[in-house]
């Protein structure tokens, strides 16, 4: 799943328009226009399509955290990550939605997808932890689908 696909799915799940997505992204310090978002949301074969970088998607997710939970008490906004894994995307969505394990499991249940508590916990461990697991695309897709249910 590309970053553009992820943004399309999140836009639908959050029920937001292009302008709202641009405003959310701008909250992270990356000034974004409605036209730029529109180009990110186009399909790959449409004229004007622009591939969304990991840093751009990270800026959107950081902006979503700021919108949902407010700015960090220090006022600092983290610099966007150059590489964004599915684990990081899931983690940022968990933070933005202020979810604990039970809430996340309920969202997976809405999407009719079974994830165990242990499996979910393994996605949020440090990469060097022995019980760390990479988050498969299917898990991320189902979580976003559950958000929209």
Reading the chain (149 residues) residue by residue, the pLDDT tens digits are: 999 999 999 999 999 999 999 999 999 999 999 999 999 999 999 999 999 999 999 999 999 999 999 988 887 888 889 999 999 999 999 999 999 999 999 999 999 999 999 999 999 999 999 999 999 999 999 999 999 97
List the chain domain ranges. 3-69, 86-148
Q: Measure the CA–CA gap between 61 and 55, rounded to whole angstroms.
A: 10
Q: Are 3 and 13 within 8 A, CB to CB?
A: no
Q: Which residue in this structure is represented by tokens 């590489």? A: 83
Q: Measure the CA–CA gap between 27 and 126, rounded to whole angstroms.
A: 27
List the one residue out of 24, 55, 18 whose CA is nearest residue 39. 18
């Amino acid at each position: 799943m590309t970053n553009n696909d992820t943004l399309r799915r999140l836009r639908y799940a959050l029920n937001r328009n292009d302008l709202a997505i641009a405003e959310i992204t701008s909250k992270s310090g990356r000034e974004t226009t409605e036209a730029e978002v529109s180009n990110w949301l186009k399909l790959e074969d449409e004229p004007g399509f622009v591939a969304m970088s990991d840093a751009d998607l990270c800026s959107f997710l950081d902006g979503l955290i700021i919108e949902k939970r407010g700015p960090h008490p220090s006022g600092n906004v983290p610099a966007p990550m150059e590489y964004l894994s599915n684990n990081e995307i899931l983690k940022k969505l968990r933070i933005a939605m202020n979810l604990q394990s039970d809430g996340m499991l309920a969202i997976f249940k809405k999407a009719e997808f079974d994830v165990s508590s242990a499996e979910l916990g393994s996605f949020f461990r440090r990469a060097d932890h022995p019980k760390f697991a990479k988050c498969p695309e299917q898990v991320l897709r189902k979580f976003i689908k559950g958000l929209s249910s």
